[in-house]
Amino acid sequence: MNLKAPNPVLQALGRPLRLGVVGGGGASFIGPIHRAAAVLDGRFQVVAGVPSSHTDKGRAQGAAIGLDPSRTYASMAEMVAAEATRPAGDGIEAVAIMTPNDLHYDQCVMALQAGLHVVCDKPMVNDSAQARALADLVRSTGLAFCLTHNYSGYPMVRQARAMVEAGVLGALRIVQVDYFQSGMALPVEQGTLTDRQRWKLDAQRSGPSLVLGDIGTHAHQLACFVTNGQVTQVSADVGAVVPGRVVDDYAAILWRFDHGARGACVVTQAAAGAENNLTLRVYGEKGMLEWQHAAPNYLRHAPQGAPVQVLGRGDPWLDARALGCIRVSRGHPEGFTEAFANLYAEFAEAILASRAGTPLAAPWFPTVEDGLHGIRFVEAAVQSSRQSGAWAPCTG
Amino acid sequence: MNLKAPNPVLQALGRPLRLGVVGGGGASFIGPIHRAAAVLDGRFQVVAGVPSSHTDKGRAQGAAIGLDPSRTYASMAEMVAAEATRPAGDGIEAVAIMTPNDLHYDQCVMALQAGLHVVCDKPMVNDSAQARALADLVRSTGLAFCLTHNYSGYPMVRQARAMVEAGVLGALRIVQVDYFQSGMALPVEQGTLTDRQRWKLDAQRSGPSLVLGDIGTHAHQLACFVTNGQVTQVSADVGAVVPGRVVDDYAAILWRFDHGARGACVVTQAAAGAENNLTLRVYGEKGMLEWQHAAPNYLRHAPQGAPVQVLGRGDPWLDARALGCIRVSRGHPEGFTEAFANLYAEFAEAILASRAGTPLAAPWFPTVEDGLHGIRFVEAAVQSSRQSGAWAPCTG
Amino acid sequence: MNLKAPNPVLQALGRPLRLGVVGGGGASFIGPIHRAAAVLDGRFQVVAGVPSSHTDKGRAQGAAIGLDPSRTYASMAEMVAAEATRPAGDGIEAVAIMTPNDLHYDQCVMALQAGLHVVCDKPMVNDSAQARALADLVRSTGLAFCLTHNYSGYPMVRQARAMVEAGVLGALRIVQVDYFQSGMALPVEQGTLTDRQRWKLDAQRSGPSLVLGDIGTHAHQLACFVTNGQVTQVSADVGAVVPGRVVDDYAAILWRFDHGARGACVVTQAAAGAENNLTLRVYGEKGMLEWQHAAPNYLRHAPQGAPVQVLGRGDPWLDARALGCIRVSRGHPEGFTEAFANLYAEFAEAILASRAGTPLAAPWFPTVEDGLHGIRFVEAAVQSSRQSGAWAPCTG
Amino acid sequence: MNLKAPNPVLQALGRPLRLGVVGGGGASFIGPIHRAAAVLDGRFQVVAGVPSSHTDKGRAQGAAIGLDPSRTYASMAEMVAAEATRPAGDGIEAVAIMTPNDLHYDQCVMALQAGLHVVCDKPMVNDSAQARALADLVRSTGLAFCLTHNYSGYPMVRQARAMVEAGVLGALRIVQVDYFQSGMALPVEQGTLTDRQRWKLDAQRSGPSLVLGDIGTHAHQLACFVTNGQVTQVSADVGAVVPGRVVDDYAAILWRFDHGARGACVVTQAAAGAENNLTLRVYGEKGMLEWQHAAPNYLRHAPQGAPVQVLGRGDPWLDARALGCIRVSRGHPEGFTEAFANLYAEFAEAILASRAGTPLAAPWFPTVEDGLHGIRFVEAAVQSSRQSGAWAPCTG
């Protein structure tokens, strides 16, 4: 992918791809990000949507985001059916799913079966059986599927991956990820819940472990992406640090990777005082890399036996795969939305490839297989924690 | 302005404002930023443009950014004339000018005389006579005019302004701005010049002082915006630090403000090793504020006699005028494009106000008067430097 | 302790306390630090020593550090015996032990039995049976005993402890310590070993787990000191990340504290590219504290619901116990030696108290009990790691 | 100088040099630092002193710092006379002067005429005539003279100097120094003054410009030391930013160097909220170096066209002249006292050289000539400010 090159969608199709959105209306946090990310590079336009499952509310929310009333739907099923009847070259070609976790599976299946490409918010689904089924379906359809673990879209994260691949660190030894948030630091259960809080606090909807699904899968995918590896087993302590809480808000995990590294991963949504503090450190035999989300435009590289380097987004000596996903030149900060948009930009290329019958072999956006690995990681951590920290496998 | 509130343009007009762009095609740095900033919040759509003054090149560049060939023009005059003949509610309502500095004046005048609102890149014009004439024209037309000194669009810069206004620092004492870039650190004159370098290095086109026009006016506007004041006089050393250079690449300026503060401002484009390092520090009787462009989501506040605070973009205790221009919640970085987009978002509100006959009284985006102050600052600095640093007035 | 107050040793005794040093000669890392720390505040003078167990070498090393040849000894036993025969008020009153780990126990016992106060380098001893015996001996003699876990001597670490004690964080939830060094990142075993490397790599001498003894005990003591608590159980992964290594160079530990907090602690000496990177983060219900050894003069406090604060060493609003161990005013950095000296300064006060028959009740320097907790922590981590991560108790 | 090598004083003389101190008793800020710095490396011992000019007070202050009552004097003259009568090898060999500025000249002259080596606090004297006379006297006596501009003692500052000398930056272009303190941010004149404040606020005692003498000379010496050059002319704005103040608390200076660089230097003691914020940035044709006193163990090197490097104190790839003044290994912070001690350590070597009749040719500690340049800089800045910023020469 090279964002400085001519827009391949405009070149191939003469206009942006047509996207339908499911969820993300009203006060949604992630909805505006998906929509901004989709359109930022002129590769998608949002032409239809299901902003809310409540009809009247959905209509108002659709108008608020500029949707045509005639293409604002009350359900995924309605959208899929109605869009399929539009004239050739007018109906949606892809859907973006940003609904509560327990709805993802059915909606993904519905979209894929209708021949639509899918971008799905994380966590992909709530158990590994669904994940395997979904992976099979994606493979069999040949459609493009992107899971929005957006942290891997940051240019300096991609630079880290490229450096690891190039052997800059040598054999990997230790991988550390900390992800500390404060959204659940207060006992929110004791107050009036927002819609979002209500389904998050309902384990039937949010999945086997709230904190692991919400941010543990981000931490896991980030570590796997950068080190180009898989976690094979974990020893974990999972639970709640806020008294009286019945969902998980804390997980500390010791992990081992197929590339031989080990390390620790700590995630919590109950870290009073935290912002959205995600830190990755990778150590190999020749040095280390550190990336912090609070300063995403920089990557620290400390080689053994040579001066520490601070690499900046846009530096001309970066790897082409990092430079390819940069919009604004060095010294001009980019942020969360641009990282998210990088997933969409490459997803657009995957759609073109799928249309051409030559699916992308190894895209850098998170795939359905990454989603499967993520849910297996969650399940293994929960299992280990229940068994006094005994190492549990998370592959297979 | 409150970006979390419903889109006022959609509410008032049912669809985005129609924008024509002048310049910014091809390999332009600022063109993609203007276009992304314009559309980011769904308040503008880019429907016409003059990507290049060369017809064939312009046509190709227009296609590359998704312009309809029928609305890709060869000149500003052609665009203004043709768009005026389109059906009601279809022609452009505003233009965004991002051409070489010496073209700004004529293009702004042409647009305003055609009843179009204008967003213009900096520096506004190349001498104060033109600036005064343009300010008069804007006032007489009642049209909206926005100058893209985008650094004042960063939420944490706006927080600084709000805190100064609220008296958090007490009486102001010292204002420091450093702006160090490396784009001219090498003797680029000795190699093959890009189009952009060619006009920059031609003082007839780039104005009385290259570095002062390019980034000195940014530094000046940032200091004036945050401290809500004007520079009244300067003592300066302006010139070139790269041997053999005939345009200015360095300016060190001692300044005095109408609010009583003084300080120093150093700007250079010949700082080998620099990125785009802009730093603002404001000291008052009660404490200081520091903002650095390399970490734009934070603002350091060091009160006298109490602990240092680090304020973060999105913190709920920020001023409403800072919170109003935030898209992504705290801990999720925003960057250059979003800051730029904040100017466009408020510019859209200014257009609505102009249409309603009630122009915005004191917008926070930079105005034509700010452009006038900027060019007066440049002229005074050049004058002082020629007179052995003697203090020169820059108001009036 | 208040270093700004008159020197209590000079006030009580009219001259500094007389110290004998054991080890630390030649190219020792820790020797010069002990000696500088001892004399920095005029509370000790180094009057005798056993720089090396090899007589000729020891004599030369003694001269190099200014020892009188007549008081440069070949062994601890010789020094204790000879010094005891000196005129009243002339022989050593305390010893500082900085020899290989396996010698600590015998040397401590010898000193205590001779009525000498003891400052001992960490880890205190190599197994918990010795640790218990030593703790009993210290208690029975009433002599002062200080273990040099020097990180707890930093003023901002003490400020953190004071804030935790004062309830600034509320109930504690999570305690994180990372300690990453690079001293063993290369396969040093394959080259020529220094004396220091030779005994470190000999598990008979360095103890049950090299990395845990060397720096794990530092991490443990730091966490316990700041949170005023004890680790009750651990689940651990301990081993070597450098291929072929037979001693431990890596340990990742999940821990639980008696105050209810849990968290993770990762220590390694094989982190290629690291300096001496020790980081502590403590989260409670009301906010968090972060201290990093690379910037030891600052403490970050992020309260939930209020702006982040950066506290600086010397700020007048610090706790008296932090301000009491500061020599140079705010904004003038202090470092490792001063932190080390703070242990010595309070150790001197403990000696005065012991001489007066009123031993200090709860000194802030690390005690023999802290040493016992440290070795129990090491033993439990090793045990858990051997049992597939099963939680192991480390109290009792 | 190499602090890891055997102590040259012990090698040459068998014991430390004997130092007398003048001033620095009681609540003095700088007194304890001078004394700790003198003894830190075992090259000096403080054996006599004039802690205060008031006899009783001086006696008590002498006891408090461990001086023998028989060698605690009431005046410099008394000390010089009495010490001269002591047995050979017993009297003081050097004096350290840390009295109010207006006393330095007479005390330096008295010491030098008595054959004593001198370490003197800054600013050296209050006018350039005295400075020239003192420089002549030092030269004629061949005695060692050290001026304690201690910032040039930091290892990473010395590394910067070494890199500039080695041509790492190429031809120098811009030198920036900011020095912001808050000690005079409040209108202290309106309250009860301490002794120190009283003489500082008396221009007869503190010299032609308080802020320039106090910290401007530090900024000037730091810039000259690192760039191995002299300031040739200045254009300045000097005055008070605190209303009603009659001494200077603010100076902004544009400067030009004999090596061709220019830049700005801003110093103030009235920066509310500041600590002791000294920052140096040097730009050359090939890149830049930045050093900040708040993080003194690191030096940022940004080469043009290659990644930013962060050099750490103790890194083995540093210049020998930086590594030579390090006590504690990399990753173990050093601070203000150690930097100060580096001046004393080399001053001791200068004394040995003077005794041997071969004075050091180009010591890295600040010399009497540096003191002369400093006062000429102050005088020129004051002159320029009085002449509307006209450039004033400060050499000759």
A97 DSSP 8-state letter = E
C333, C297 contact by CB (below 8 A): yes
B23, B98 contact by CB (below 8 A): yes
* Cβ–Cβ gap B304/D252 under 8 Å: no
* A·C CB contacts under 8 A: 141
Helix (H) or strand (E) holding A355: helix A336-355
The DSSP secondary structure of D313-360, one letter per residue, reads TT-TTS-HHHHTT--S-TTS---HHHHHHHHHHHHHHHHHHHHTT---
The single residue listed with the structure tokens 């970085």 is B333
Cα angle at B156 between B151 and B159, to 5 degrees?
115
D298, D313 contact by CB (below 8 A): yes
Q: How far is B241 from chain C (nearest CA, A)?
A: 34
Measured CA to CA, the distance from residue D389 to residue D264 in angstroms comes to 13
Question: Among partner residues B39, B63, B335, which is closest to A338 by beta-carbon distance?
Answer: B335
Query: Does A359 contact D at CB distance below 8 Å?
Result: no
Return the partners of chain D (3 or more C-beta pairs < 8 Å). A, B, C
Outline where chain B has alpha helix (H): 8-13, 30-39, 55-64, 76-84, 101-113, 128-141, 155-165, 195-200, 203-206, 210-211, 217-227, 320-323, 336-355, 368-386
Closest listed residue to residue A275, CA positions, set C294, C290, B280, C227 = C290
Q: What is the pLDDT of residues B358-378, one digit of tens each?
A: 999 899 999 999 999 999 999
pLDDT value, residue A241: 98
Query: Does C306 contact B at CB distance below 8 Å?
Result: yes
pLDDT value, residue C183: 96
Measured CA to CA, the distance from residue D102 to residue D113 in angstroms comes to 19
Question: Among partner residues B174, B274, B301, which is closest to D271 by beta-carbon distance?
Answer: B174
Q: What is the pTM of this model?
A: 0.97
Measured CA to CA, the distance from residue A20 to residue A116 in angstroms comes to 10
* Cβ–Cβ gap C312/B317 under 8 Å: no
Query: Which of these ranges, B47-61, B274-288, D282-296, has the smallest mean pLDDT?
Result: B47-61
The DSSP secondary structure of D262-290, one letter per residue, reads EEEEEEES--TT--EEEEEEEEETTEEEE
- The tens-digit pLDDT sequence of chain D (396 residues) is 999 999 999 999 999 999 999 999 888 889 999 999 999 999 999 999 998 878 788 888 888 888 999 999 999 999 999 999 999 899 999 999 999 999 999 999 999 999 999 999 999 999 999 999 999 999 999 999 999 999 999 999 999 999 999 999 999 999 999 999 999 999 999 999 998 899 999 989 999 999 999 999 999 999 999 999 999 999 999 999 999 999 999 999 999 999 999 999 999 999 999 999 999 999 999 999 999 999 999 999 999 999 999 999 999 999 999 999 999 999 999 999 999 999 999 999 999 999 999 999 899 999 999 999 999 999 999 999 999 999 999 987
Q: What is the pLDDT of residues B110-140, one digit of tens each?
A: 999 999 999 999 999 999 999 999 999 999 9
Return the partners of chain B (3 or more C-beta pairs < 8 Å). A, C, D
Chain D hits for B185, CB-CB cut-off 8 Å, are 285, 304
Chain A hits for D312, CB-CB cut-off 8 Å, are 308
CA C38 remoteness from chain centre: 14
pLDDT value, residue D60: 86
pLDDT along chain C (396 residues), means of 10: 94 95 91 94 95 82 89 95 94 97 97 98 96 98 97 98 98 98 95 91 93 98 98 98 96 98 98 97 98 98 98 97 96 97 98 95 96 98 97 90
**B94 Cβ neighbours under 8 A, 6+ residues apart:** B17, B18, B19, B20, B44, B116, B117, B118, B119, B144, B347, B351
Q: How far is C378 from chain B (nearest CA, A)?
A: 37
* Mean pLDDT, rounded, for B72-82: 96
Measured CA to CA, the distance from residue A120 to residue A99 in angstroms comes to 9
Q: What ipTM, to 2 d.p.?
A: 0.96
Buried b (16+ CB within 10 A) or exposed e, B76-111: beebbebbeeeeeeebbbbbbbbbbbbbbbebbebb
Nearest CA in chain C to D182: C331
Nearest CA in chain C to A303: C273
* Cβ–Cβ gap B173/D270 under 8 Å: yes
Residues 193-252 of chain D with CB under 8 A from chain C are: none
Q: How far is B173 from chain C (nearest CA, A)?
A: 21
Best C65, C299, C332, C338 member to test D by mutation, with max D CBs in 10 Å, is C332
Measured CA to CA, the distance from residue B368 to residue A312 in angstroms comes to 35
C217, C378 contact by CB (below 8 A): yes
* Cβ–Cβ gap D272/B304 under 8 Å: yes
CA A167 remoteness from chain centre: 26
B87 DSSP 8-state letter = P
Query: Does B310 contact D at CB distance below 8 Å?
Result: no
Chain B hits for A32, CB-CB cut-off 8 Å, are 327
Locate A66 and state its tokens. Answer: 């500029």
Nearest CA in chain D to B261: D241
pLDDT value, residue B42: 92
pLDDT value, residue D64: 86
Return the partners of chain A (3 or more C-beta pairs < 8 Å). B, C, D
Outline where chain D has alpha helix (H): 8-13, 30-39, 55-64, 76-84, 101-113, 128-141, 155-165, 195-200, 203-206, 210-211, 217-227, 320-323, 336-355, 368-386
pLDDT value, residue B20: 98
Question: Which contacts of D55-59 are long-range, i.e. CB under 8 A and separated by 24 or more positions?
Answer: D57/D25, D57/D26, D58/D25
**B191 Cβ neighbours under 8 A, 6+ residues apart:** none
CA B251 remoteness from chain centre: 19
In degrees and rounded to multiples of 5, residue A88 shows phi and psi of -55, 135
In degrees and rounded to multiples of 5, residue A36 shows phi and psi of -65, -40
Q: How far is B294 from chain A (nearest CA, A)?
A: 7
Q: How far is C239 from chain D (nearest CA, A)?
A: 24
Query: Does A315 contact D at CB distance below 8 Å?
Result: yes
Closest listed residue to residue B138, CA positions, set B360, B376, B375, B341 = B360
pLDDT value, residue C18: 98
**B358 Cβ neighbours under 8 A, 6+ residues apart:** none
Best B235, B255, B291, B383 member to test D by mutation, with max D CBs in 10 Å, is B235
Nearest CA in chain A to C288: A273
Locate A7 and state its tokens. Answer: 């827009």
pLDDT value, residue C62: 87
A18, A47 contact by CB (below 8 A): yes
Q: Which residues pair with A360 in a beta bridge?
A: none
D49, D66 contact by CB (below 8 A): no
Chain B hits for D266, CB-CB cut-off 8 Å, are 174, 176, 263-264
pLDDT value, residue A303: 98
Question: Among partner residues B42, B293, B334, which is closest to A335 by beta-carbon distance?
Answer: B334
CA A142 remoteness from chain centre: 20
Nearest CA in chain A to D298: A308
pLDDT value, residue D276: 97
**C98 Cβ neighbours under 8 A, 6+ residues apart:** C21, C22, C23, C24, C28, C30, C31, C34, C121
Q: How far is C240 from chain A (nearest CA, A)?
A: 10
Helix (H) or strand (E) holding B308: strand B308-312
Chain D hits for B388, CB-CB cut-off 8 Å, are 235, 389-391
Instruction: Collect the ranges in chain A with pLDDT lower than 70.
Output: 396
* Mean pLDDT, rounded, for B86-95: 95
Question: Among partner residues A301, A307, A312, which is closest to D311 by beta-carbon distance?
Answer: A307
C39, C114 contact by CB (below 8 A): no
Q: How far is B158 from chain D (nearest CA, A)?
A: 20
Chain A hits for D289, CB-CB cut-off 8 Å, are none
Query: Does B7 contact A at CB distance below 8 Å?
Result: yes
In three-state secondary structure terms, C95 is strand
Tell me the residue type at A120: C
Q: How far is D193 from chain B (nearest CA, A)?
A: 19
* Cβ–Cβ gap A328/B33 under 8 Å: yes
Helix (H) or strand (E) holding B233: strand B231-239
Q: What is the pLDDT of residues D325-360, one digit of tens each?
A: 999 999 999 999 999 999 999 999 999 999 999 999
B215 DSSP 8-state letter = I
Question: Among partner residues B254, B284, B308, which is closest to D237 by beta-carbon distance?
Answer: B254
Closest listed residue to residue C134, CA positions, set C112, C163, C103, C151 = C112
Q: How many residues does chain C have?
A: 396
* Cβ–Cβ gap D284/B262 under 8 Å: no
Q: What is the mean pLDDT of chain B?
A: 96
Q: How far is D32 from chain C (nearest CA, A)?
A: 8
| CA distances in angstroms from A281 to A142, B313, C268, D311, listed in the order given | 35, 25, 13, 20
Please check the confidence at residue B53 and state whether its pLDDT lies above 80. no
Counts of helices then strands in chain C (DSSP H, E)? 14, 14
Best C304, C310, C386 member to test A by mutation, with max A CBs in 10 Å, is C304
Question: Among partner residues C10, C16, C32, which is closest to D327 by beta-carbon distance?
Answer: C32
pLDDT value, residue C383: 98
* Cβ–Cβ gap B311/C307 under 8 Å: yes
* Cβ–Cβ gap A310/D310 under 8 Å: yes
